[in-house]
């Protein structure tokens, strides 16, 4: 009898120890898997209950990425996942390398170099393991929409919808994601620009996927953009702050970026274009390159400030302004010393009233309308060389003011707006003098 009792006790202890070890092995859990395809890369995100302990390796014939998650069990059914990606053929589990761990296999369409990293919890997400799969260069690089020597080319406006994909941006008290607001406003703005003869919009992202802040100005540069407009929604820890604002690149950040451009000859060649062909990389001639780049940066920042003032004057007609003058900041997305760039905060998503407004499609359309008006006003007055608008401006008529004539009368006679005549002549009031020669814009 004693032997039986000892045997039963040994079995019970063994079961207890085995159960305890098994629980320890599976202290983490896969709670979900999300896939974010974009034109340049595909991101796979594993939602986990705890910080991941992981390793990975790749296989060929066929191409696979294998990820081992230690002490992890599968709560989410990976088999039910819809891949919805051109580069991921299938995601499945395989035999783990030890008890309590999980092995995940990504079957790939071709050889890809993965970048894998863990992210700590940031609402609304918990712990995450992120897998970035960059597409081939030919697929990721945007097609150049214009050539620099084209005559009568379109004015290119790069529109940057802030955040996206795994990065929701700020989250309103009602659960509104900034990334959705910015994409909606950006698309509405793009539609307005594309409907205007002589203008063309380029979106840094056209869907719900992540684009790094540093890559966004690069997309604008590859398209040879004449202006970069980044759309965001502000947030604060309390609900009181409200209003829109417009930001430009700070001189400190601009000088830093200029230094980085100078570190690589091919970089400052991108900015200088044909001029770079006669500037060698000698010590003396690098001073010339620096001087030319410095002039380019000064023009860019001056243009950015001019555009931002026009955007503020337009936005204040449809919403309250948090800041009534352009603000300068060292923002990651504003890193182009060669492209005039602005960042528009459309309002505070952390303010309940403004969150409600931003969720209203008609309000987002008003914001897009006003930003478009400002951009159009700027380029009507300062069209880039070689564009259709520059060609049309060179054909502008002039008019010598006669007795009894006014701006409103001239606007009616030439079928243009009073604001266009004032803009073309840098007039601050509606008063004109007899004998004054005015430029009458043709657009």
Q: Decide which of 196 and 137 is more confident.
A: 196
Convert the pLDDT of each residue in 354-383 to its tens digit.
999 999 999 999 999 999 999 999 998 889
Of the candidate ranges 86-90, 289-293, 438-442, the one whose mean pLDDT is the lowest: 289-293
3-state secondary structure of 389: helix
Distances (CA, A) of 155 to 114, 209, 229: 37, 26, 13
Q: Decide which of 263 and 208 is more confident.
A: 208
| Structural domain 26-140, CATH architecture | Sandwich (2.60)
pLDDT confidence tier of residue 26, bands split at 50, 70 and 90: low
Contact 90, 35 (CB under 8 A): no
Of 378, 293, 307, 383, nearest to 337 (Cα)? 293
Give pLDDT, residue 266: 41
Of the candidate ranges 89-98, 260-269, 297-306, 397-406, the one whose mean pLDDT is the lowest: 260-269
Mean pLDDT of 88-101: 91
Give pLDDT, residue 122: 81
Convert the pLDDT of each residue in 223-278 to its tens digit.
999 999 999 998 888 888 899 999 887 766 544 554 454 444 444 444 444 334 43
Give pLDDT, residue 217: 87
CA distance 404 to 418: 16
Of the candidate ranges 87-96, 200-209, 292-301, the one whose mean pLDDT is the lowest: 292-301
Residue 338, Cβ density class (10 Å: 0-12 exposed, 13-18 middle, ≥19 buried) = buried
Give pLDDT, residue 234: 86
Give pLDDT, residue 138: 40
pLDDT confidence tier of residue 142, bands split at 50, 70 and 90: very low
Give pLDDT, residue 397: 76
Parse the chain into domains and list their residue ranges.
26-140, 155-381, 396-440
Which fold is adopted by the domain 396-440? Answer: Membrane-bound Lytic Murein Transglycosylase D; Chain A (3.10.350)
Q: Name the region of 175 (left: φ>0; alpha: ψ -120 to 50; beta: rest).
A: left
Convert the pLDDT of each residue in 377-427 to its tens digit.
999 888 998 999 888 777 767 888 988 889 988 888 888 889 888 988 888
Distances (CA, A) of 434 to 405, 411, 426, 427: 8, 16, 17, 15
- Spatial strand order of the sheet with 327-329 comes to 199-203, 155-161, 227-234, 341-348, 245-249, 327-329
pLDDT confidence tier of residue 129, bands split at 50, 70 and 90: very high
DSSP 122: B
Q: Decide which of 189 and 276 is more confident.
A: 189
Instruction: Tell whether the model's pLDDT for residue 333 goes beyond 70.
Output: no
Task: Name the percent of the chain lying above pLDDT 70.
Answer: 78
Give pLDDT, residue 283: 47
Half-sphere exposure (CA, 13 Å, Cβ side) for 230?
A: 30
pLDDT confidence tier of residue 88, bands split at 50, 70 and 90: very high
CA distance 147 to 13: 77
Instruction: Tell whether the model's pLDDT for residue 98 goes beyond 70.
Output: yes
CA distance 90 to 79: 9
Give pLDDT, residue 291: 52
Backbone angles phi, psi at 392, to 5 degrees: -70, -35
For 155-381, CATH gives 3.40.630.40
Give pLDDT, residue 332: 64
Give pLDDT, residue 399: 87
Distances (CA, A) of 133 to 97, 112, 126: 24, 6, 22
Mean pLDDT of 49-61: 94
pLDDT confidence tier of residue 19, bands split at 50, 70 and 90: very low
Contact 195, 154 (CB under 8 A): no
Mean pLDDT of 102-107: 94
DSSP 1: -
Give pLDDT, residue 294: 55
- Spatial strand order of the sheet with 28-37 comes to 72-74, 28-37, 41-48, 127-134, 114-119
Give pLDDT, residue 156: 97
pLDDT confidence tier of residue 185, bands split at 50, 70 and 90: very high
Of 35, 361, 319, 162, nearest to 170 (Cα)? 162
Instruction: Tell whether the model's pLDDT for residue 150 goes beyond 90.
Output: no
Most confident of 148-162, 313-327, 383-397: 313-327
């Amino acid at each position: 009898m004693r032997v039986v009792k000892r045997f039963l006790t040994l079995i019970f202890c063994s079961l207890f120890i085995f159960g305890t070890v098994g629980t320890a092995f599976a202290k983490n859990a896969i709670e979900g898997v999300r896939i974010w395809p974009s034109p340049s890369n595909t991101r796979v995100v594993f939602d986990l209950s705890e910080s991941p302990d992981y390793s990975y390796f790749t296989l060929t014939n066929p191409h696979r990425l294998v990820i081992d998650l230690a002490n992890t069990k599968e709560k989410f059914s990976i088999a039910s996942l819809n891949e919805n990606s051109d580069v991921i053929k299938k995601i499945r589990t395989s035999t783990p390398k030890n008890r309590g761990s999980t092995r995940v296999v990504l079957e790939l369409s071709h050889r890809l170099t993965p970048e894998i990293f863990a992210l700590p919890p940031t609402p609304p997400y918990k712990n995450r393991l992120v897998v970035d799969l960059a597409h081939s260069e030919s697929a990721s690089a945007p097609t150049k929409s214009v050539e620099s020597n084209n005559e009568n080319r379109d004015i290119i406006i790069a529109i940057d919808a802030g955040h996206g994909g795994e990065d929701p941006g700020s989250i309103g008290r009602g659960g509104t994601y900034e990334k959705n607001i910015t994409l909606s406003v950006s698309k509405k703005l793009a539609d307005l620009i594309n409907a205007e003869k002589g203008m063309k919009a380029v979106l840094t992202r056209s869907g719900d996927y992540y684009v790094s802040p540093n890559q966004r100005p690069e997309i604008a540069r590859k398209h040879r953009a004449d202006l970069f407009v980044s759309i965001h929604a502000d947030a604060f820890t309390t609900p009181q702050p409200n209003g829109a604002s417009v930001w430009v690149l700070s001189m400190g950040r601009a000088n830093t970026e200029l230094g980085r451009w100078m570190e690589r000859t091919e970089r400052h060649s991108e900015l200088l274009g044909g001029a770079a062909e006669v500037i060698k990389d000698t010590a003396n001639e690098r001073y010339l390159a620096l001087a030319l780049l410095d002039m380019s940066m000064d023009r860019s920042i001056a243009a950015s400030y001019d555009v931002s003032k026009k955007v503020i004057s337009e936005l204040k007609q449809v919403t309250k302004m948090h800041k009534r003058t352009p603000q300068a900041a060292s923002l990651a997305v504003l890193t182009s010393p060669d492209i005039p760039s602005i960042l528009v905060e459309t309002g505070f998503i952390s303010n309940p009233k403004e969150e409600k407004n931003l969720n209203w499609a008609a309000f987002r359309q008003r914001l897009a309308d006003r930003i478009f008006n400002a951009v159009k006003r700027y380029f009507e007055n300062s069209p880039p060389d070689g564009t259709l608008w520059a060609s049309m401006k060179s054909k502008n008529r002039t008019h010598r003011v006669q007795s009894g004539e006014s701006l409103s009368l001239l606007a009616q006679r030439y079928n243009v707006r009073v604001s266009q005549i004032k803009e073309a002549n840098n007039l601050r009031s509606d008063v004109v003098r007899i004998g004054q020669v005015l430029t009458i814009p043709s657009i």
